[in-house]
Copies of this chain bind each other. A is one copy, B any other.
Amino acid sequence: MNEVKNVQVLGVLGGMGPMAGATFASRMVALTPAARDQDHIPLVLCNDPRVPDRSSARLGQGEDPLPAMVAGLRLLERAGATLIAIPCNTAHLWYDQLAAATSLPVLHIVESVRDDLERLGVAGCRVGLMGTAATLQLDLYGEPLRRHGFPVLPTEPEEVRLCAEAIDAVKANDAERGFAPAAACIRRLVARGARAVVLGCTELPLAVPHASRGEFGAVLTDSIDALARTAIRRCHTPMERQA
């Protein structure tokens, strides 16, 4: 796709879940300053929902998703991608293997969320985490955020349960049913002292509509939007200036 020199083509390894992948593509468009079609960023989305479940695999109960994810990277390379984004937090538990499997740069969703917390003016504030059982139990966000000076609340089992309920509702095409458990989890984290809450699974932003996000008394960072903002910034930086 990349016939024009110095134009980035964003390859999106999606499908995990498929609505998160499609929403990421929409948010790439919505968050790009543009007056006409041709101002937008060229993007190829591989939205293959057949990738085995990441959370089950990581917790030792399911098929390894890595071969399917690497096949997706190959497809995006063939399609002319110059930069990869993966709108699935749990997939980032395989980040090192994925980054090693391709010569293309791969954005890291945790770094995007950390940048977003700084953009939102809550650097150094107490953070509550939401995500799949695997990302919470294997501490995908905890260690890097602590290293950057964020006190991170330890996750309680009820929060893992509420997140799973919200995520499953979105994956079953019923995002509205996901709102109540997601909101209950946010309120618990705020009651425990969180000033910011990470919607650290790309299904969670779909359960908590933008219009409702002001009602919790804490800053919410949306891992879909955070990754899109990083991707837009990278695609708008001339390629010769990038390392």
Task: Give A contacts to B, CB under 8 Å.
Answer: 1, 3-4, 7, 9, 15-19, 21-23, 25-26, 28-30, 32-51, 53, 71-72, 75, 78-80, 171-173
Q: From the candidates B28, B35, B45, B171, name the one contacting A44 in the complex (CB within 8 A).
A: B45
B25→A172 contact, CB < 8 A: no
Q: Is the CB of A36 within 8 A of B1?
A: no
5 A-B contacts (beta carbon < 8 Å) = A19-B29, A22-B29, A30-B173, A37-B171, A42-B49
Residues on B with C-beta less than 8 A from A36 are: 53, 171-172
Question: A45 contacts which of B30, B39, B47 (Cβ < 8 Å)?
Answer: B47
Question: For the complex, what is the distance from the CA of A30 to the CA of B19, rounded to whole Å?
Answer: 8
Alpha-carbon distance between A39 and B53 when the two chains are bound, in angstroms: 12
Residues of B within 8 A of A32 (CB): 173
**Residue in B closest to A75 when the chains form the complex, CB atoms:** B79
What is the distance, in angstroms, from A121's C-beta to the closest C-beta of chain B? 25
Tell me if B29 and A25 are in contact (CB < 8 A): no
- A1 CB → nearest B CB, Å: 6
New A-B pairs, 7, CB < 8 Å, besides A18-B28, A34-B172, A41-B49: A18-B37, A18-B43, A19-B29, A33-B173, A34-B171, A37-B53, A43-B45
Q: Report the Cα distance A186→B13, complex, angstroms.
A: 39
Using Cβ atoms and an 8 Å threshold, which residues of chain B touch A16? 37
Select from chain B the residue with minimum beta-carbon distance to A30: B173
A1 and B14 alpha carbons, distance in the complex (Å): 13
Query: Which among A43, A72, A75 has the highest number of chain B CB atoms within 10 Å?
Result: A43
User: In the bound complex, do residue B48 and residue A42 qualify as a contact, i.e. CB atoms below 8 Å apart?
Assistant: yes
* A30 surroundings in chain B (CB, below 8 A): 19, 173
CB atoms of B26 and A40 under 8 A apart? no
CA distance A4 to B162 in the complex (A): 34
Name the contact of A22 in the complex, choosing from B9, B18, B28, B71 (C-beta under 8 A).
Answer: B28
Q: Quick one: which of A18, A36, A39 has the most chain B CB within 10 A?
A: A18
Is the CB–CB distance between B29 and A26 below 8 Å?
Answer: no
A18 touches B23 (CB 8 A): no
- Contact for A1 among B21, B23, B53, B75, CB less than 8 A: B75
Q: Which 4 A-B pairs have the closest CB atoms?
A: A22-B25, A40-B49, A22-B26, A45-B45
